[in-house]
Structure 1
Amino acid sequence: MTVWDRPEPPTRPAPLDRERIVAAALALADEGGLDAVSLRKVAARLDVGPMRLYGYISTKEELFDLMVDEVHAEILPAERPGDWREALRVRAHRTRQAALRHEWLADLLGGRPTLGPNALAVTEATLAALDGLADIDTVMRAVETVGAYTIGAIRSEVAHLRAERATGLSEHDWQRAHGPYVSRMLATGRFPALAKAVHDGTDVDAETSFTTGLDWILDAVAAKLM
């Protein structure tokens, strides 16, 4: 039985419900990442005994499932996109934006399918936008392909943000600090392709890089759907 199938306990003194528990867990995760979340810490945030939570949530994994589903409410578009391409683009961008607001989300994306009602609604909206364009297996592979790109790009971006905080160096500062070493290595002539990329390539911000890569993925998907 999933956590969504299991009824909540009757109301007791010091009102408690899954909504309040999840909100407290989200606040802890936003402040300190997933390591800051435990049933004991959530109970302390709510000023209740830890055992009270077990009537609502059996494990920390169930709590994570509820947290991820809560964030999927932010990913679900307010309006139905105009076509399949816009649907996939909107989902990708809204997922990235949610992950930047809740960096811990990057650690929980990409595993088994999320089965909460909000996540199911996101999936339903996505599949509905592609309905009739191709056989269902092709549609599923299209959605998986865009999802894989989205998750990979998000994880890379979040990893960079965490590295900046851990080292105290911005991306520009890090490049400047390592510049002399890279210049010496490139001067050996052993890495001509890399040298061309370093000297002639254009630096772009994370959002531009994400959007460009997403458009290329959608172009490839279009070739399979049309």
Structure 2
Amino acid sequence: MPHDPDPSLRLLWRHAAPEQERPRRRGPKQRLTVDEVVDAAIELADAEGLDALSMRGLAGRLGLAAMTLYTYVPSRKDLIVLMVDQALGRTALPELPDEPRRRLELVARVEYDDCRAHPWLLDAAGVRPWLGPNAADRYEWQLTAVDGLGLGDLETDQTVALLVGFAGNIARAEQRVRHAEHESGMTEREWWEANAGTLGELMAGRSYPLAGRVGQAVGEAYQAAGDPARELEFGLARIIDGVLAHAAGTAPRHEPPAPESYHQR
């Protein structure tokens, strides 16, 4: 059964579409532009998180009646789609260097920096941001960074997904640390200092030789249970080592199982 086109598509491409294809509305001229509405939503989400974003609250912030906001954007979900693409468009994509390692690093670092600047991007689940012009430009740039390594088209796409996913996970780990510190009012180091004695009592009689040795080394190095910044550097270097070795044919190749095999387990 055929489905109707996604209504957010014409809004996403409102600046790129031919004049006759651009969204139109009847009635008096609107006081704000769609860009201004989306910018205000991004500002709110940057400050308070995506959960704080509501159509009614945003309308009040803009001095609009709640129902008036729906003349700009059909729904909150559509608004989030526009926010994702507009936020991505704020980042000027750097020129890609010749050296393959540096190109792959840039793919991850641009994603990491955007997720740190706009943490709510990590919570924008259930949207299809790659359908917008800025996301499309970024995907082309990411593919260009990987192109030339000798990978097939599917592996090129999977390499982009691997780099972007890893960078997002590190940004999410940092976000969790900041949230925990905000909720507890203590830094990671302060929390461990306050709870080390109690943990020692509760864990007495149990033997964790490896965890004890590694945990002590981590605590001394990081003054915390982890260091996402160092994890980014280590993990990114190892991922790129693997991708380049795979592309050069020096790494053992293991074909992933077909999707059906997961359902047969």
TM-score normalized by structure 1? 0.88
Kept in 2, the 8 Å contact 1:40–1:50? The answer is yes
Match of 1:55 among 71, 77, 91: 71
Amino acid at match of 2:104: L
Kept in 1, the 8 Å contact 2:146–2:156? The answer is yes
State yes or no: 1:68 paired with 2:84.
yes
Task: Give me the whole-angstrom Cα distance separating, in 2, the residues matched to 1:88 and 1:12.
Answer: 49
Kept in 2, the 8 Å contact 1:107–1:155? The answer is no
Cα distance change, pair 59–213 in 1 and its aligned pair in 2 (3 A)? same
Kept in 2, the 8 Å contact 1:75–1:95? The answer is no
Deviations 1:95-118 (A, max 9, x none): 222222222222126975532111
Task: Give me the whole-angstrom Cα distance separating, in 1, the residues matched to 2:187 and 2:126.
Answer: 28
Greater Rg by CA: 2
SS at match of 2:151: coil
1:16 corresponds to: 32
Task: Give me the whole-angstrom Cα distance separating, in 2, the residues matched to 1:98 and 1:126.
Answer: 14
Unaligned runs of 5+ in 2: 12-22, 249-265
Q: How many residues align?
A: 226
Cα distance change, pair 113–190 in 1 and its aligned pair in 2 (3 A)? farther
The alpha-carbon deviation at position 11 of structure 1 amounts to 8.2
Task: Give me the whole-angstrom Cα distance separating, in 1, the residues matched to 2:240 and 2:161.
Answer: 12
Summarize the alignment of residues 1-226 of structure 1 with structure 2, pairs less than 5 Å apart: 1-2=5-6, 3-6=8-11, 7-9=23-25, 12-108=28-124, 112=128, 114-132=130-148, 133-184=150-201, 188-201=205-218, 202-203=221-222, 205-226=227-248
- Identical amino acids, percent of aligned pairs: 29
Task: Give me the whole-angstrom Cα distance separating, in 2, the residues matched to 1:87 and 1:57.
Answer: 37
Unaligned runs of 5+ in 1: none
Task: Give me the whole-angstrom Cα distance separating, in 2, the residues matched to 1:192 and 1:90.
Answer: 39
CA RMSD of aligned residues (A): 2.4
